[in-house]
Structure 1
Amino acid sequence: MASAADLPSGTPHRIERQSLHEAILTRLRDMIIEGDLTPGTRINEGAIGAQFGVSRTPLREAIKYLASEGLVELVPSRGAVVKKFTAKEVRDMLDVVRTLEEHAAVSACAVATDEAVAGIRALHDEMVAAYEHGERRTYYKLNQEIHTRLVELADNAALSDVHAMLQTRLKRIRYVGHEGEEKWAKAVGEHVEMIEALEARDADRLVDVVHRHLTKAWERVKDSLET
């Protein structure tokens, strides 16, 4: 197998192509999450490619990946369209996510290592700092990582897989749930309760907080959705 030193000068390394793919994917995903590309909007490959300074080939690869995540639909005669979920679809997904996280909470309190819990505490502290500085994008990404890590503490691959799929589809919706100072402050307060319950290994309290947090998540977004 040839090493990097054996490659001809100017040969692109695989990592560079992957980095381009990830960069395009991240920017497109952020545009959807933050509402620059609203639900139902057709993704104009020419305009987006020019904005990003990339050709259509890597852009299409990123769009196909977003379609596999459920954030984009590939519609005949229209092309790629940002997925638009109904209120019922969102409610159903949040109900399942809540059930999954409640189950994970019980297992996490029983089996998680102190090191793993400390890792979530560190993310939580970063998230609160982002909130205090008004850095909404950073806050949101740390928030989602905390939910992912909480589920991972349960050490159940099937649980993590289903949760990851639904969490990805709900990215835009969860972002909307932090719009407005009052909604944002309440969400942060719920997370404070979550980390305290996790550190105390208080499963009953953690399940209660997770239940309230994800029930409130629906209440915070329902008015922005179509029936």
Structure 2
Amino acid sequence: MHSVTLNAVREHTVHPPDNGAAQPISRQALHLAVMDRLRKMITEGALAPGAHLNERALCEQLGVSRTPLREALKMLAVERLIDLLPNRGARVVTLSASDIADAFELLSGLEALAGELACERITQAEIDEIQALHCAMDDCYANGDLPGYFDCNQRIHDRINAAARNPALTQMYQSVNHRLRALRFRSNLHTGKWERAIEEHVAMLRALHQRDGAALGRLLRAHLMAKCTAVLAGMRVAA
């Protein structure tokens, strides 16, 4: 079994996120690429909650025409990341405190179930892949690379979910998680919360190595609800 250690607490500088709009998108599967780029911009705060989406400006930023942009917006509306407003364009969804609490409660249950099932069904190769992602995530943490950290973090959660071998669970998980990605990203902007998240991931990886489904399920549920608490506390401070 791989040993899992946590480096001593270090001083970190959080690098500003890349808003994803610097380079033109290739023409292949264009609307899907645009959707991914816009989702990243929403997650990292380049498109803030409530922001009106200016089609002309976005087309210039992404180097695309309005047709693939509008197709991408329709798909993001299905994911409930944006609202399409009749004759008024589109805007980024703003979630209420109640919306956030309900969604995190649901997602924590989905992740807990995924963890329990994954411990029964995961292969050693998949565990090794998650271990490697954890090491990469820890390197990003050490370097203050929040976007890189978050990407590794989400890939770890996705791999655990995939290892559950339950397509219905995965579909619902992805739907809810897309709505909360931006909030999960911002919950790590505070260094203390980021450190605690790393510690929680160390414990989750240990339970996965031990194939302790009950423990991993409890840890995943607690991890998500801690995120919820941090997000709601941040909203109260901002208000």
TM-score between the two structures when normalised by the length of structure 2: 0.83
Question: Which residue among 204, 211, 231 is the counterpart of 1:194?
Answer: 204
Q: Is residue 2:90 matched to residue 1:80?
A: yes
Q: Which residue of 2 aligns with 1:101?
A: 111
- Counterpart in the other structure of 1:21: 31
Q: Which runs of 4+ in 1 moved over 6 A?
A: none
CA distance, structure 2, for counterparts of residue 163 and residue 69 of structure 1: 12
The offset of 1:18, in angstroms, is 2.9
The offset of 1:134, in angstroms, is: 1.3
The count of aligned residue pairs is: 212
Q: Which of 113, 126, 133 is the matching residue for 2:123?
A: 113
Contact 2:108 2:222 in 1 (8 A): no
Pair 1:148 & 2:119 matched: no
Offset from partner CA, 1:12-71 (integer Å, 9 cap, x none): xxxx63353344223322221111211111100011112223221222122222112221
Partner residue of 1:157?
A: 167
Residues 53 and 91 of structure 2 are in contact (CA less than 8 Å); yes or no, is this contact kept in structure 1? Answer: yes
Bigger share in helix: 1
- 2:40 pairs with 1:30: yes
Q: Distance in 1 between matches of 2:80 and 2:98?
A: 16
- 8 Å CA contact 2:51–2:91 kept in 1: the answer is yes
CA contact (8 A) 1:71 1:83 kept: yes
1-structure distance, mates of 2:85, 2:234: 24
Structure 1 counterpart of 2:229, one-letter code: E
Contact 1:42 1:78 in 2 (8 A): no
Does the CA contact (< 8 Å) of 1:109 and 1:202 recur in 2?
yes
How many angstroms apart in 1 are the aligned matches of 2:88 and 2:138?
41
Q: 2:219 corresponds to which residue?
A: 209
Are 1:109 and 1:203, in contact at CA under 8 Å, matched by a contact in 2? yes
Q: 2: CA distance between counterparts of 1:24 and 1:66?
A: 10
Q: Can you give the 5+ residue segments of structure 1 that lack an aligned partner in the other structure?
A: 1-15
In 2, the alpha carbon distance for the partners of 1:218 and 1:29 equals 20
Q: Contact (CA 8 Å) 2:111, 2:161: kept in 1 or not?
A: yes
Give the conservation status (yes or no) of the 8 Å contact 1:86–1:225: no
Which segments of 5 or more consecutive residues in structure 2 lack a partner in the other structure?
1-25
* Of 79, 87, 90, the match for 1:69: 79
- CA deviations on 1:84-132 (whole Å, 9 max, x unpaired) are 1111111111111111111122111122111111111111111111111
1:176 equivalent in alignment to 2:171? no
Q: Percent identity among equivalent residues?
A: 39
The aligned residue for residue 8 of structure 1 is none
Q: For 1:81, what is the secondary structure of its paired residue?
A: strand
